[in-house]
Amino acid sequence: MGMLGSKPTDVPINPNHKLGDCLGSTLVDKGRYQHLIGKHISLSHTWADIACTVSVESQFMHAPFKKHMEAIYQILRYLKGTPGFGLYFRQNSKRSIETFIDADWAGSVMDMRSAMDMRSATGYCTFLWGNLVIWRSKNQPVVARNSAEVEFGALAHGI
């Protein structure tokens, strides 16, 4: 699929796009999918806003379906629409370390084994002298019983 004439988009993934079970869907070319994921992983080192999306998409490299390839194309349209984005390191007189942390209680559809066994997602980013140097988004390893437990787990990961 040629992407030169595609319309740019403002978001790297549709928030309502559920990528979990794809029963009855069509498999796509695994080699092409893996090639595009590899390119996106390389870009995600300096393009932090696609890192979480690429991480989710890379979970389907063994058996990509049409829905997953559409999400990859969404990332490509996002990259086309945001050419100036990416990490920029600048000289700064601000001499501090700042970390921002967030968590989503029971929000991971991918790790849902039952209604009572939903994983929570954690994300954080750290700035050194005003420059983004560390970021991460991942599912928490244990099932939390409430949102406070999730927030404390996120805090521990961020610190």
Task: With respect to residue 76, please indicate whether it lies within any of the assigned structural domains.
Answer: yes
Task: With respect to residue 132, please indicate whether it lies within any of the assigned structural domains.
Answer: yes
* 20-24, 113-117, 119-123: segment of lowest average pLDDT: 113-117
Q: Are residues 129 and 152 in the same domain?
A: yes
Q: Are residues 24 and 49 in the same domain?
A: yes
Q: Are residues 78 and 118 in the same domain?
A: no
Q: Are residues 132 and 82 in the same domain?
A: no
Q: How many distinct structural domains can be found in the chain? A: 2
Q: What is the mean pLDDT of the chain?
A: 78
**Residue 1, burial from CB neighbour count under 10 angstroms (0-12, 13-18, 19+):** exposed
User: What percent of the residues of the chain are helix, what percent strand, and what percent coil, each to the nearest 5?
Assistant: 35, 20, 45
Q: Pick the last residue of a domain from 62, 87, 112.
A: 87
**Continuous H helices in 11-65:** 30-44, 51-57
Decide: 111 and 139 in contact? Cβ < 8 Å: yes
Strand extents, DSSP E, 71-130: 97-108, 119-128
Q: Are residues 48 and 101 in the same domain?
A: no
Render pLDDT for 15-46 as a digit per residue (tens, 0 to 9). Answer: 766 776 666 678 899 999 999 999 888 888 77
Q: Are residues 146 and 77 in the same domain?
A: no
The pLDDT value recorded for residue 34 is 92
Q: Are residues 77 and 117 in the same domain?
A: no
| pTM tops 0.75, yes or no | no
- The residues, ordered by sequence, that sit 6+ positions from 78 with a Cβ below 8 Å of its Cβ are 8, 9, 10, 11, 12, 50
Render pLDDT for 10-19 as a digit per residue (tens, 0 to 9). Answer: 888 877 667 7
The pLDDT value recorded for residue 144 is 67
Q: Are residues 126 and 55 in the same domain?
A: no
Name the pLDDT band for 129 (thresholds 50, 70, 90).
confident
Task: With respect to residue 121, please indicate whether it lies within any of the assigned structural domains.
Answer: yes
Identify the CA nearest to 53 among candidates 76, 35, 32: 76
Task: With respect to residue 2, please indicate whether it lies within any of the assigned structural domains.
Answer: no
**Residue 48, burial from CB neighbour count under 10 angstroms (0-12, 13-18, 19+):** middle
Domain hosting residue 47, numbered range = 7-87
Cα angle 46, 51, 57 (rounded to 5 degrees) comes to 135
Residue 110 to residue 59: CA distance in whole angstroms: 9
* 36-40, 52-56, 118-122: segment of lowest average pLDDT: 118-122
